[in-house]
């Protein structure tokens, strides 16, 4: 059976999925799985190079903040294999690749604002020769600088009130009065580090000049339309001169939402100037040095609460490191403000978010987009409240959950209408055996002086939609060829998350065809115009609906023809198992398509979708920014070594709400990947800039992302049986980002283990994130000062190591 109605009843859909070969709700492999594992999947660097292709590399600033006194690029021009050296002066149009404000020069002019900022581009015969010549940027003879004072931390920027955008402030009720009157109070500070996206495929663009001032840009980007636009502005061309294409990315994770632009611009500038194809592929170290990351944050918080731990009033200031320019920081900070509540009702609350301007990389989107930075501090606060009350943090969490029909309005004014966090929590507490394990862990800790175990539960409520309402739109184009094969194009981009597979499933389902009959092509700005980034986890919600609409239009035309040929009414036509049936007769899909062609029926269509209900007032920070919420929860158990600070995740149980999943295998993959990636952020991944503002952790040697061996031996990931309360595509829910918040439970379990090591400590463990072994030892030492290493009696010698 196949469904024609947009408003699909969940149970019926589920049954339909299993009957139909098109298999909505079935764990079909990723459409490129075989290509991924065989190495045949083509990424931007695999596009066959045209004859005459040149290679670009970037000359980077050596200072965090300096005036460029003079540039003498002759040595670079004369280096072996160099064809040209380009600077900002060579840009015919706008020297900007910033997505919102125009504060992001493609190549620096007069002043450099961070160490690693591109100042010039070298174009050479080979990648290697271009890199060698670009490295001359390190010489004083090439660029002379007058160093200026650099602001290197959010704390310094905050002290000087130096922001890239005005502060955001959301206040509801009378938080100060409620905190003052509360029977109990906590206050404190917290900090969390940033995170490098570490997509396996680095930033890359390959620009091919075309006739009549045309440019084809192959770009590894989440946002082809934006690449088209910035390249056109830079060249002072209309947008229709530029086509941007992306077949797939080897990961984006937000890092290619805006920051693929610099690479697309430089490759295109060079291709335009030299009338030759030019490729710019950033080396991993350069990628680290040039591009922005997840915003690190420092917090000040305060809360008043009753004896059950229920919050009566709360206040937080979230100071995010924006870096040298605005990039997407405004929307990131807004999402942070809108996720401070996480799954909890806050009647009286004051939230401030600051976008601190520092002389470091311009921070950008990263899975969760500020949401994790907003919610983490709330979870830390609840943990501290529980420790002050000497009760299980789980119970404090439960006491603060959003209610149903009461206590259900977020600080920004949106009601939480689809709340399933309580039953989801109940189920997870049961399957994870939380209460019994809490007792067993206490018993273990009582008998284990060095190794301590910790256990923690944390929930997620994540708002789905771009928090800039107009971005919630998408288009698709479906072609049915005469032989009955189907080609789908949509505005979303594939970065490994399985978007193309889900969209193909949706289209195959419309036509009652197996997935093998549907092919999804590369994303291409000449096919779908004015697309939004594939971001905010909305890829399949938006593009799935647009493709469904396009396919439905064709299907309705086909149904009419079938009814003309077989009798009966078009509305009764069924598309299933490769057959179209109506009025007791049936024919193969391709036979009907062939007949439709001869009957001059249009066999292709576009489709368009906009998300209903969303609106937002950026001045008051109130509205209905999210179409719906996705939920999840996790229980994590760790063991720490209190002598070395080493730790291990022993077991993690995850229950996540993907609505009625279109493809459970892909969704579980997203949950697992998001969990491990979030765990890396909170534990092992540490960005460290030296006192000159040089990022010292710019390669896997010093920046430690989780490996497969960091996956816990017991990793139980389940999808919660649910369907979206809103009529999304097959009642599914977005799943890309929300799971990144699940490993808060890992961080909190480490805190729990530290607390167990110092049972009589009166304060909660002052553990910073990432919880590296050093941070864990620092927290233990702070709770138990006699543990801390005593100062050496002899001054330590410094000349041995180096």
Nearer to ligand MTE among residue 296 and residue 778 (C-beta): 296
DSSP 92: S
For residue 257, state whether it binds ligand MOS (rule: CB under 6 A). yes
Which phi and psi (to 5°) does residue 244 adopt? Answer: -115, 135
- Packing angle, helices 499-511 and 539-566, rounded to 10: 20
| 466 is a contact residue toward ligand HPA (CB under 6 A) | yes
740 forms part of the interface with ligand HPA (CB under 6 A): no
Q: Which of 495, 638, 676, 719 binds ligand MTE (CB under 6 A)?
A: 495
Confirm or reject binding of residue 538 to ligand MTE (CB under 6 A): yes
Q: Is 304 in the site for ligand MTE (CB under 6 A)?
A: no
Smallest distance from the beta carbon of 364 to ligand HPA, in angstroms?
9
CB nearer ligand MOS, residue 44 or residue 509:
44
Least distance between ligand MOS and beta carbon 472 (Å) = 13
Does 261 participate in binding ligand HPA (rule CB under 6 A)?
A: no
Nearer to ligand MTE by Cβ, of 117 and 465: the residue is 465
Contact 256, 201 (CB under 8 A): no
Within 13 Å and on the Cβ side, how many CA atoms surround 263?
A: 30
Angstrom distance (rounded) from CA 396 to CA 725 = 28
Active-site entry in 196, 302, 590, 737: 737
Q: Counting Cβ atoms within 10 Å, is residue 355 exposed (0-12), middle (13-18) or buried (19+)?
A: buried
Q: Which residue is nearest to ligand HPA (CB)?
A: 536
Query: Of 146, 106, 42, nearest to 264 (Cα)?
Result: 106
Closest CA to 205 of 195, 215, 193: 215
Instruction: Measure the CA–CA gap between 331 and 364, rounded to whole angstroms.
Output: 10
In 433-473, which ranges are continuous DSSP H helix? Answer: 434-446
CB burial of residue 598 (10 Å; 0-12, 13-18, 19+)? exposed
Q: Using CB distances below 5 to 8 A depending on partner kind, what does residue 331 bind out of ligand MOS, ligand HPA, ligand MTE, none?
A: ligand HPA
Nearer to ligand HPA, 58 or 536 (CB): 536
Q: Is the dihedral of CA 487, 482, 530, 464 positive or negative?
A: negative
Helices (H), 222-356: 224-235, 261-274, 284-290, 329-337
Binding mask 539-578 for ligand MTE (x = CB under 6 A): xx--------------------------------------
Site residue total, ligand MTE (CB under 6 A):
21
Question: Quick check: 596 and 387 in contact, CB under 8 A?
Answer: no
499 interacts with ligand MTE by CB under 6 A: yes
376: CB partners within 8 A, 6+ apart: 190, 192, 682, 741, 744, 747, 769
Residues 204, 278 contacting (CB under 8 angstroms): no
Residue 335 as a binder of ligand HPA (CB under 6 A): the answer is yes
**In Å, how far from its chain's centre is CA 664?**
20
One character per residue 133-172, x = contact with ligand MTE (rule: CB under 6 A): ----------------------------------------
Task: Verify binding: residue 468, ligand HPA, rule CB under 6 A.
Answer: yes
Using Cβ positions, the residue closest to ligand MOS within the complex turns out to be 254
* Closer residue to ligand HPA (CB): 266 or 365: 365
Confirm or reject binding of residue 365 to ligand HPA (CB under 6 A). Answer: yes
Interaction between residue 367 and ligand MTE (CB under 6 A): yes
- Least distance (Å) between residue 537 CB and ligand MOS: 6
**Using N-to-C axis directions, what is the helix angle for 329-337 and 371-389, rounded to 10°?**
30
Neighbour count for residue 702 (Cβ, 10 Å): 13
Query: Judged by CB under 6 A, does residue 369 bind ligand MOS?
Result: yes
Asked whether position 339 contacts ligand MOS by CB under 6 A, the answer is: no
687 binds, among ligand HPA, ligand MTE, ligand MOS, none (CB under 5 to 8 A by kind): none
CA–CA separation, 97 and 228 (whole Å) = 11
Distance CA 428, CA 729 (A): 26
468 binds, among ligand MOS, ligand HPA, ligand MTE, none (CB under 5 to 8 A by kind): ligand HPA
Beta bridge partners of 54: 278
Between 441 and 536, name the residue whose CB sits nearer to ligand HPA: 536
Using CB under 6 A, which residues numbered 691 to 750 contact ligand MTE? Answer: 734, 736-737
Task: Name residues whose C-beta falls within 8 Å of residue 161's C-beta, 6 or more positions apart in sequence.
Answer: none
Q: Which of 537, 574, 684, 724 binds ligand MTE (CB under 6 A)?
A: 537
Q: Which residues share a beta bridge with 55?
A: 124, 279
Strand order in the sheet with 518-520: 518-520, 486-490, 473-480, 604-610
Closest CB to ligand MTE: residue number: 539
417 cis-preceded (ω within 30 degrees of 0): no
- Give exposure, 477-502, as e/b (b: 16+ Cβ within 10 Å): bbbbeeebebebbbbbbbbbbbbbbb
By beta-carbon proximity to ligand MTE, the closer residue of 496 and 693 is 496
Stretch that binds ligand HPA, among 4-12, 111-119, 141-149, 531-539 (CB under 6 A): 531-539
If binding is defined by CB under 6 A, does position 471 make contact with ligand HPA? Answer: yes
Q: Of 104 and 737, which has the nearer Cβ to ligand MTE? A: 737
Using the rule CB under 6 A, which residue among 178, 279, 281, 367 binds ligand MOS?
367
Cα–Cα dist 656/719, whole Å = 5
Say whether residue 366 binds ligand MOS (CB under 6 A): yes
Residue 49 a catalytic site member? no
Nearer to ligand HPA, 466 or 730 (CB): 466
Task: Give me 696's structure tokens.
Answer: 């010292």
Q: Is residue 777 near ligand MOS by the rule CB under 6 A?
A: no
Sign, Cα dihedral of 106, 205, 256, 709: negative
Each residue 147-176 as x (binds ligand HPA by CB under 6 A) or -, in order, gives: ------------------------------
Question: Residues touching ligand HPA: how many (CB under 6 A)?
Answer: 13
Judged by CB under 6 A, the residue of 467, 497, 540, 642 near ligand HPA is: 467
Instruction: Give the binding range for ligand MOS (CB under 6 A) out of 350-358, 364-372, 666-674, 703-711.
Output: 364-372
Contacting residues for 2 by C-beta, under 8 A, at least 6 apart = 16, 20, 22, 509, 510, 512, 574, 575, 576
State the minimum distance, in angstroms, from the CB of residue 495 to ligand MOS.
8
Task: Give 488's strand partners.
Answer: 478, 520
Rounded to 5, what percent of the chain is helix, strand, coil? 35, 25, 40
Give 153 or 670: the residue with its C-beta nearer to ligand MTE: 670
Among 230, 535, 551, 741, binds ligand MOS (CB under 6 A): 535
Per the rule left: phi > 0, alpha: psi between -120 and 50, beta: everything else, 623 is left
Q: Which stretch binds ligand HPA (CB under 6 A): 327-335, 338-346, 544-552, 654-662?
A: 327-335
Residue 670 interacting entry, from ligand MTE, ligand MOS, ligand HPA, none, C-beta within 5 to 8 Å by type: ligand MTE
Give the contact letters, 210-239, x = binds to ligand MOS (CB under 6 A), - = no: ------------x-----------------
The tokens for 473 are 């739109």
The only residue of 220, 611, 670, 745 in contact with ligand MTE, by rule CB under 6 A: 670
Question: Which residues contact ligand HPA (rule: CB under 6 A)?
Answer: 257, 328, 331, 335, 365, 369, 466-468, 471, 533, 535-536
Question: Which residues contact ligand MTE (rule: CB under 6 A)?
Answer: 251-254, 367, 495-497, 499, 534-540, 670, 673, 734, 736-737
**Catalytic positions:** 737
Question: Which residues contact ligand MOS (rule: CB under 6 A)?
Answer: 222, 254, 257, 365-367, 369, 535-536, 737
């Amino acid at each position: 059976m196949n469904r024609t109605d947009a408003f699909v009843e969940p149970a019926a859909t589920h049954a339909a999925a299993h009957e139909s070969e098109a298999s909505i709700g079935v764990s079909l492999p990723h459409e490129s799985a075989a290509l991924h594992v065989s190495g045949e999947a083509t990424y931007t660097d695999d596009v066959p190079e045209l004859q005459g292709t040149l290679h670009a590399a970037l000359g980077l600033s050596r200072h965090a903040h300096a005036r460029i006194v003079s540039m003498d690029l002759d040595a670079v021009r004369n280096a072996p294999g160099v064809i040209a050296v380009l600077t900002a002066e060579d840009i015919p149009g706008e020297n900007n690749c910033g997505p919102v404000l125009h504060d992001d020069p493609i190549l620096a002019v007069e002043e450099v604002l961070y160490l690693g900022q591109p100042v010039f581009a070298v174009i050479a015969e080979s990648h290697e020769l271009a890199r060698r010549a670009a490295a001359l940027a390190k010489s004083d003879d090439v660029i002379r600088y007058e160093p200026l004072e650099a602001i290197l931390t959010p704390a310094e920027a905050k002290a000087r009130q130096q922001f890239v955008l005005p502060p955001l402030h959301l206040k509801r009720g009378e938080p100060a009065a409620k905190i003052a009157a509360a029977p109990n109070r906590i206050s404190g500070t917290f900090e969390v580090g940033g995170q490098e996206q570490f997509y396996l495929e680095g930033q890359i663009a390959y620009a091919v000049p075309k006739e009549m001032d045309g440019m084809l840009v192959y770009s590894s980007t989440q946002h082809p339309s934006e690449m088209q636009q910035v390249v056109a502005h830079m060249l002072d061309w209309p947008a229709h001169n530029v086509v941007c294409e992306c077949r797939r990315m080897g990961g984006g994770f937000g890092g290619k939402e805006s920051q693929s632009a610099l690479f697309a611009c430089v490759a295109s500038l060079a291709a335009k100037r030299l009338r030759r194809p030019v490729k710019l592929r950033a080396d991993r170290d350069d990628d680290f040095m040039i591009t922005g990351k997840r915003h690190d944050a420092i917090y000040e918080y305060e809360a008043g609460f009753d004896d059950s731990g229920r919050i009566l009033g709360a206040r937080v200031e979230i100071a995010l490191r924006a870096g040298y320019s605005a990039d997407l920081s405004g929307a990131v900070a807004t999402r942070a403000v809108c996720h401070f509540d996480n799954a909890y009702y806050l009647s009286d609350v004051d939230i401030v978010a600051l976008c601190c301007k520092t002389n470091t990389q311009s921070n950008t989107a990263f899975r969760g987009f500020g949401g994790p930075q907003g919610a983490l501090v709330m979870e830390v606060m609840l943990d501290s409240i529980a420790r002050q009350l000497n009760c299980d943090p789980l119970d404090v969490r439960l006491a603060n959950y959003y209610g149903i029909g009461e206590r259900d309005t977020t600080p920004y004014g949106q009601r939480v209408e689809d709340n399933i966090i309580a039953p989801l929590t109940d189920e997870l507490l049961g399957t994870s055996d939380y209460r019994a394990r809490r007792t067993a862990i206490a018993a273990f800790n009582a008998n284990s002086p060095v190794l301590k175990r910790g256990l923690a539960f944390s929930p997620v409520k994540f708002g789905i939609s771009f928090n800039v309402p107009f971005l919630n739109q998408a288009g698709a184009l479906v072609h049915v060829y005469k032989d009955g094969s189907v080609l789908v194009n949509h505005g979303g981009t594939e970065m490994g998350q399985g978007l193309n597979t889900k969209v193909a499933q949706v289209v195959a389902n419309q036509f009652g065809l197996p997935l093998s009959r549907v092919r999804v092509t590369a994303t291409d700005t000449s096919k779908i115009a004015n697309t939004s980034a594939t971001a905010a986890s909305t890829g399949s919600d938006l593009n799935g609906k647009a493709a469904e609409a396009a396919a439905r239009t064709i299907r309705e035309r086909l149904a009419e023809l079938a009814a003309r040929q077989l009798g009966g009414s078009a509305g009764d036509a069924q598309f299933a198992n490769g057959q179209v049936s109506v009025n007791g007769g049936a024919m193969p899909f391709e036979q009907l398509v062939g007949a439709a062609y001869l009957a001059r029926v249009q066999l292709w269509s576009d489709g368009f979708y906009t998300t209903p209900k969303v609106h937002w007032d950026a001045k008051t920070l109130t509205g209905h920014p999210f179409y719906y919420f996705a939920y999840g929860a996790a229980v994590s158990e760790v063991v720490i070594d209190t002598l070395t600070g080493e730790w291990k995740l022993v077991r993690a149980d995850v229950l996540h709400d993907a609505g009625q999943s279109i493809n459970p295998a892909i969704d579980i993959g997203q949950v697992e990947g998001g969990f491990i990636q979030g765990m890396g952020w909170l534990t092992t991944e540490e960005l460290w800039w030296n006192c000159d503002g040089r990022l010292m952790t710019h390669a896997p040697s010093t920046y430690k992302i989780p490996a497969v061996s960091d996956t816990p031996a017991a990793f139980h990931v389940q999808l919660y049986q649910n369907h979206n309360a809103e009529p999304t595509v097959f009642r599914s829910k977005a799943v890309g980002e929300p799971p990144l918040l699940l490993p808060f439970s890992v961080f909190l379990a480490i805190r729990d283990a530290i607390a167990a090591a110092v049972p009589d400590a009166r304060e909660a463990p002052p553990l910073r994130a990432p919880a590296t072994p050093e941070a864990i030892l620092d927290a233990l030492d702070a709770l138990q000062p006699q543990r801390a290493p005593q100062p050496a009696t002899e001054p330590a010698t410094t000349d041995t190591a180096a």
